[in-house]
Structure 1
Amino acid sequence: IRVIGQSTADFVVFNLRNVKERFDQARTKVDQGKIYVTTGDLLISKFNNVMMTIVKDTYEGTHDMEKGMCSTSFYKKWGDKIFAIYGATWKKLGRKRGAAPKHGCWENLARALKPWKVLKEDVPSPLNVFQTMVINGKSGAMRYAMIRPKPGTHMDLRAEMDCLVGISACPEGGRGRDLKVVIYRK
């Protein structure tokens, strides 16, 4: 599968034969001893199985596995606080206060995965492809980086089992852009 875009792609993976087995941020990080993944790295399931391998990554930044995903309740509950924290960065990205979308990635993914009987509460925290977060090593404080994908930026992943993949083009506080996904078959 190839994910191409200039926006964050909230990316989740399930075992197609058993959707209770799903991508796990924590196991992916612990099993590889790092918090960022790139070419050659693996996406690991909650059952400690390899689900996918990243075979090519052309993004200049890092892919986030700390922040989680946005949702309607997130924007409603934390909108003003988040704007206060990230406001300067959001302004540089063209976001406006009060421009929050009516739905977030969690709702997008829950709706898309419903036909496979994935309950909304079983949508895992994603791999945020093309979203770079700056993390303070001492305090753990996070902020968005100004790194944005350039046209043609992509990540290629190879399925290591039969997978169900869900991808949301993040609304990014009202500034999201379309993604392109190409599925390759053997």
Structure 2
Amino acid sequence: MEQVPARRGRAVRLKQGQAIRIVNTHGTQVVDTWAFNADDPTEFMSMEHLHASLGSIFPSRGDALYSNRRRPILMLEEDTSPGRHDTVIAACDVHRYQGLGCTEYHDNCTDNLHAALAMVGFVRTETPSPLNLWMNIPVAADGKIAWGEPLSKPGDHVLLRAVIDCVVVMSACPQDMIPINGADCTPVEVHYEVVG
């Protein structure tokens, strides 16, 4: 298995029909996840379009994950976790950490996305909202949200299958100021493998 180091990102090219298994090795790590059409970077997995297509903010096993052109780009084929993944919160960035009080640079998922894409020669400037695997953002009846700890356990995984040729990007979220990466607020590595 390959590793996404703590606080870093990785990009993987998938051919139509291939899949990627992403493993929450320690059970506490959020993984911001994106997918782009390998032939057209202006088409990407879109949380806004996903909401409309699924009629839900929580994708589950068997669901198609839709692009901004309202067609499936990935399928969520397996999910051994309780299935709580966030589709509401934008990727962290330097501005988010400034708002939390950081006065120096802080690793962030937005920069991880662009660094990972550059490593595979797939340049893009915009940052779509990610599918935040294992990120637990409880939503109350009045619409208020909270920053919860992951409900996953060590070794939980998802299997995402490519419906079209695509580039999948994963960022082991560097958030260490609120407990989305566990009560101890410590980002850790996750693992992945391409299958099929």
* TM-score normalized with structure 1 length: 0.82
Q: Which position in structure 1 is the counterpart of 2:60?
A: 38
- Distance (Å, rounded) in 2 between the aligned partners of 1:155 and 1:136: 26
- Does 2:177 align with 1:156? no
Compute the displacement of 1:137 (Å): 2.1
* Residues 101-160 of structure 1 deviation map (CA, whole Å, 9 limit, x = unaligned): 7210011001111321211xx22110000111111221x221122334211100011110
Contact 2:60 2:83 (C-alpha < 8 Å) held by counterparts: no
Long gaps (5+) in structure 1? 81-97
Is the 8 Å Cα contact of residues 135 and 149 (structure 2) preserved in structure 1?
no
Query: What letter matches 2:63 in structure 1?
Result: D
- Residue 109 of structure 1, aligned match among 106, 113, 117: 113
Q: Given the alignment, which residue of 68, 76, 79 partners 2:100?
A: 79
Q: Which residue of structure 2 aligns with residue 90 of structure 1?
A: none
* Native 8 Å contact 2:84 2:151 kept in 1: no
Query: Over residues 42-92 of structure 1, what are the superposed CA-to-partner deviations in whole Å (9 max), with x where a residue is unaligned?
Result: 11000111101111111125100001111122101x204xxxxxxxxxxxx
CA RMSD, Structure 1 to Structure 2 (Å): 1.8
> Where do 1:51-130 residues align within 5 Å?
51-76=73-98, 78-80=99-101, 102-114=106-118, 115-119=121-125, 122-130=126-134
Looking at structure 1, the residues matched to 23 and 94 of structure 2 have their Cα atoms a distance apart, in angstroms, of: 25
Q: Are the equivalent residues in 2 in contact too, given 1:106–1:123 (CA < 8 A)?
A: yes
1:130-149 counterparts in 2 under 5 A? 130-138=134-142, 140-149=143-152
Change (3 A) 1:103 1:28: same
Letter in 2 for 1:133: I
* Corresponding residue for residue 4 of structure 2: none
TM-score normalised to the size of structure 2?
0.78
Q: Cα distance 1:182–1:61, how it changes in 2: closer, same or farther (>3 A)?
A: same
Question: Equivalents in 2 of 1:158, 1:25: separation in Å?
Answer: 17
Identical aligned residues as a percent: 27
Query: Distance in 1 between the 2:105 and 2:145 partners?
Result: 22
Q: Distance in 2 between matches of 1:180 and 1:125?
A: 22
Higher helix share: 1
Distance 1:16 1:50, change over 3 A: same
Question: 1:184 aligned to 2:195?
Answer: yes
Structure 2 regions of 5+ residues with no counterpart?
1-19, 177-184
